[in-house]
Amino acid sequence: MQSIHRLFIVVGITGTLISCKDLGTSGIPTEPPVVSSVSPSPAAVGDTIRIIGTNFGGVQSSSEVLLANCSTAVIISWSDTEIRVKLPSIAANLTVRVNVGSRISNSIPLVTTGFISGNVSYAAGIRPILNYGCAISGCHIGSSPTGGFNQSTYAGLRAGGVSYGVNVVIPGDSTSSEIIRAMRGTASVGRMPFGGPWVTSGVPDSLIKRTALWIQQGALYN
């Protein structure tokens, strides 16, 4: 017999007690997530931002925060009513959404300060891009990634797998780096990714330029 998990939550803003909320058999809320506020706003790159709302789920599991359509890599804490994330350097103007069990919340705008397009960080600016569209289930992640190319770690990215090897990222030469060629559709394999959220639209040009700039700056583990 499957057990039904239930959670009692006190909403601090209104003082209202919401009793016996059904989380379903998997611990994922049966209602879609709702974001009510994001603070601080504006926020500086590197800040920890608080996302307040409902139906986020008691644990993160496979849920994610979407910042400018990218899944942020650095989750500080996760609860059903509050999520804290480290703000990456993805764009000057962000939209904040929460994806829980393939249910995506409403969007809240957030202005970013301290965004420097010429100083790209792997941890804050590149890894979130790869984690959102490339290092996903069935593609470039795990113990047996597609083409032996694990994009979920810096070491795996630089190794490049069986198809590209070290030519996947050539520090100082984004034009010849195969990862940029694949994102732009000029590589022999065609335009990547072949699956995931960008399979139809392709990687947004602004994020390709950010990745190329990171490579031009030396592809550092920063």
State pLDDT tens for residues 144-167.
888 888 888 899 999 988 877 889
pLDDT at residue 6 greater than cutoff 70: no
96-100, 177-181, 209-213: the lowest-pLDDT one: 209-213
With beta carbons less than 8 A apart as the criterion, state whether 4 and 11 touch: no
Residues 138 and 190 in one domain: yes
Pairing state between β 6-11 and 16-22: antiparallel
Residues 203 and 140 in one domain: yes
Residues 157 and 210 in one domain: yes
Residues 80 and 150 in one domain: no
Higher pLDDT, 112 or 97: 97
HSE-up of residue 37 (Cα within 13 Å, Cβ side): 6
The pLDDT of residue 27: 63
What's the whole-model pTM score?
0.50
Residues 136 and 100 in one domain: no
Q: How many domains are contained in the chain?
A: 2
Confidence of residue 198 (pLDDT cuts 50, 70, 90): confident
DSSP string across 36-72: EEEESSSEETT-EEEEEEE---SS-TT-EEEETTEE-
With beta carbons less than 8 A apart as the criterion, state whether 24 and 5 touch: yes
Report the C-alpha gap between 139 and 156 in whole angstroms: 13
Question: Does residue 145 fall inside a structural domain?
Answer: yes
The pLDDT of residue 18: 29
Residues 109 and 156 in one domain: no
**Averaged pLDDT of the chain:** 80
Burial class of 214 by CB neighbour count within 10 A (0 to 12, 13 to 18, 19+): buried
pLDDT at residue 43 greater than cutoff 90: no
Confidence of residue 14 (pLDDT cuts 50, 70, 90): very low
Residues 207 and 142 in one domain: yes
For residues 48, 50, 55, 60, the Cα torsion angle rounded to the nearest 10 degrees is: 10
Residues 90 and 137 in one domain: no
What percent of the chain lies above the pLDDT cut of 90? 25
Query: Structural domain of residue 195, as residue ranges?
Result: 122-216
